[in-house]
Every structure is written in C-alpha cells, then in structure tokens.
Amino acid sequence: MTATSRDRQHQKSKALKPGSRRPAKELCSECGLCDTYYIHYVKEACAFLNQQIAELEAKIHDRHRHLDDENELYFGVHQLMIAARKKQPIQGAQWTGIVSAIACEMLDRGLVEGVVCVQNTAEDRFQPMPVIARTPEEVLAAKVNKPTLSPNLSVLEQVEQSGMKRLLVIGVGCQIQALREVEEKLGLEKLYVLGTPCVDNVSREGLQKFLDTTSKSPDTVVHYEFMQDFRVHFKHEDGSIEKVPFFGLNTKKLKDVFAPSCLSCFDYVNSLADLVVGYMGAPFGWQWIVVRNDTGAEMLELVGDQLDTQPVSSQGNRKQAVQQSIPAYEQGVTLPMWAAQLMGVVIERIGPKGLEYGRFSIDSHFTRNYLYVKRNYPEKLEAHVPEFAKKIVSQYKLPDV
C-alpha cells in the first residue's frame, strides 16, 4: 500500500456516518461531502465555511466575471446564453428533458463512464437518492427535480474506488463549489459539470409543510416550480397543473421552511458549473442555457440538433417590484387569494420577463439573504457575501437591522 493509499484509508476511517457531524453546523446544506473521507477538506471546500466563488471562477473559467457587465454581474462568467427546448421532449421530464438528454448522450458516446445524479427512493418520490448512473436508463430514472436538500457528493468515494476516469456531475451551487475544491483529489482525467440554478431548498419535513400549506392536493404533487408568470406550478399525478400566485403564499407560515443554508446562499446561478440549464432567464415554456466555458460548449453541442433555440431577451423593469417585496416579506404579508390572483395577472402582463425576470428573482433572494446573514451571522457578513452580490444588493434600500 502506498503512502497516499494509507492516508486515504486513515481519512476514511475517521469519516463519520451520514448526518453524524456537520462542521458548518446549522448552515450545512447537506451536500454530502462530510459523509465521505473528503471531510478532511471541508474547511476549504464548504461554501458556508469558505466562500470562494471569485477565486474558483478564475480557476475554472480562466477569468473573473466582469462586474460592470450587467449580464455577467448577475449570471456569472459565460460565453453564451440562449433559450432552448427539446424538439421531442422526454416523457415525464420536468421540462423538456435537456439535462437528461445531455447526460444520456455523454454515456452513449463514451465521453463519461458515469453520471452523478439524483434518483428518488422507492418509498418516497421526493426523498433524494444520489447515484452514479452508468446507463441512460439509470439517468432517466433520475429525471424531475427533487426540491429537498440532497447529499449528491456522498457518492464521491464510490467514484474513486470504481477507478472511473471520466465523470459527469449534475448538481447545484453549494455542491459544485465543494466538488471544485476536491476535484483534483478524485483521480479523474476529465470532469464535466452540468449545473442547475437553485434557490430555497427545504428538508423533507419542510417540503411537506410547504405542500400542505400551498397545494389543494399535496399527496398527488409530482413536481413543482416557481415560474416566470409569478405563480407556483404544481403538476399532479393525473397530469393537471395547479397554479398558485406568489402573492397568495402564506409567508408567515413558510418563512421558517427554507434551510438556513439556502437563506445564506448567493450562488443562485451555479457559477462554477461548465454548463447551466434552468428556466429563470427564458420565456415561459423554454429553458435558459448558460455556457460558461469550452467544456460547457462541448456538452451543449452534443444535443444541438435535438433543440429549438432562440436568443435570450429582456423586458420590463424589476426594481420597483423588488423594493416593494422587501418589506412585504419582512412583515409576512399575504394577500387574499382573489387579490393575489388579480395581482398575478397584472404583473404577468406588465412585469419583468426573460433576463429581467431572472434579475428580479436574484435581487429578491439576494436582498432577503443579505438581511438574513446580517441578522443571524453578522461576523460572517463581509467574507461570506461575494462582491457581485454586494453590488446587486446595494441597489436597494434595506431596513435597519
């Protein structure tokens, strides 16, 4: 056994059982790193112990984001942003299946030997179960987002032990920051990172409270999303879509649902992924795609002939709506449903769309999260909030803390 192997075995022996220790304490996002012997690197890797987006952006993308360019300020380093949708959607996918299609193509073409993705347990459609998928069928079993905290990185030991050299990881911002810090320790020849935007995850218990509080039929919800029309869309088992306006949510009951890590996060757009696929900057019914570097461009090219595409666009002005939302959230304002429905119709017609909707969503969450950190972790505020987030937040008048 080599010295390196002995060191790893020693580190592994010291690694604790899942959930037994979290150095980030209540700010832990349960990314899964601490469930492996890579816990040895957690002080450097954890997004909530050592925020280092700017440093890692320069390392991964070969440059920093341009803070004077509004698109880069908000959406991070990128070569290309487009809106897209699959010409032939994957049945049962949350949207049209672009993420799943890319992962399947990479396996089929032998570009990777495995894909880190998240299936659900047999007992619970919303309970995440990270896996290393080795076939397209296993990838497709992971389609549909799991809106709960998920320990994706808990499978990293399996990656090293398997001997695989080319890997695709699908994940959210906090997971990807930790992954990038330990990337060179995995023994890979090539790592591809496909990111999704992420905001306001919950524990499984918190998810149930959200569903019970918000949906008319919580037990039949298959998936949901906060959409560009300012409504939460719940898809049910029978295929029906239930729409609930943002302004009708019971804010007072739901303010304690979201994980403290999510209330302290400023990487909504997954800045360190090679390629990001979401919806927040695209027209309704389309996906928003951000190519951050050459690796991301290579990944998108694999499915280029499967997609309809169009340029991204921007319409409206978000700033008044964001400024008004700050005290409304602080005070836990909930409108009667008839008024919420009416406001939703009005804002859908005249409110921000496309990239401006994306900026609206980022502004709303960053101002809220900045206040959360300032109130609850004032000693972390300066180092934890990235410079781009400080610049975004500075556009608004915040209440005194």
Q: DSSP labels for 317-365?
A: --HHHHHHHHHHHHTT----HHHHHHHHHHHHHHS-EEHHHHHHHHHHH
> Cα(361)–Cα(399) distance, rounded to whole angstroms?
19
| pLDDT tens string 20-36 | 578 999 999 999 999 99
Q: What's the confidence (pLDDT) of residue 322?
A: 92
Q: What's the confidence (pLDDT) of residue 313?
A: 95
For residues 141 and 15, the model is more confident at: 141
For residues 203 and 173, the model is more confident at: 173
Name the pLDDT band for 340 (thresholds 50, 70, 90): confident
Among 73-77, 103-107, 155-159, 324-328, which stretch is predicted with the lowest mean pLDDT?
324-328
Mean pLDDT score, 373-388: 97
pLDDT at residue 115 greater than cutoff 90: yes
Q: What are phi and psi of 338, to 5 degrees?
A: -65, -40
Q: What's the confidence (pLDDT) of residue 321?
A: 87
Q: What's the confidence (pLDDT) of residue 292?
A: 98
> Cα(132)–Cα(154) distance, rounded to whole angstroms?
10
Q: What's the confidence (pLDDT) of residue 94?
A: 84
Mean pLDDT score, 52-67: 97
pLDDT at residue 18 greater than cutoff 60: no
Give Cβ neighbours of residue 211 (< 8 Å, ≥ 6 apart).
218, 221
For residues 213 and 234, is the Cβ–Cβ distance under 8 A?
Answer: no
Q: What's the confidence (pLDDT) of residue 231?
A: 87
For residues 354 and 249, is the Cβ–Cβ distance under 8 A?
Answer: no
Q: What's the confidence (pLDDT) of residue 351?
A: 80
Name the pLDDT band for 145 (thresholds 50, 70, 90): confident
pLDDT at residue 356 greater than cutoff 60: yes
Q: What's the confidence (pLDDT) of residue 1?
A: 36
Instruction: Write down the mean pLDDT value for the chain.
Output: 90
Name the pLDDT band for 17 (thresholds 50, 70, 90): very low
- Cα 103–107–108 angle (5° rounding)? 115
C-alpha R_g of the chain: 20
* Residue 337: Cβ within 10 Å count: 12
In the chain, % of residues over pLDDT 90: 72
Name the pLDDT band for 4 (thresholds 50, 70, 90): very low
Q: What's the confidence (pLDDT) of residue 8?
A: 40
Give the pair of three-digit tokens for residue 302.
């694999």
Domain-wise residue ranges, the chain: 3-201+262-313
Number of H helices, E strands in the chain: 16, 13
Q: What is the dihedral of CA 209, 357, 381, 272, to 10 degrees?
A: 90
Q: What's the confidence (pLDDT) of residue 250?
A: 78
Q: What's the confidence (pLDDT) of residue 246?
A: 82
pLDDT at residue 84 greater than cutoff 80: yes
Q: What's the confidence (pLDDT) of residue 7?
A: 39
For residues 277 and 229, the model is more confident at: 277
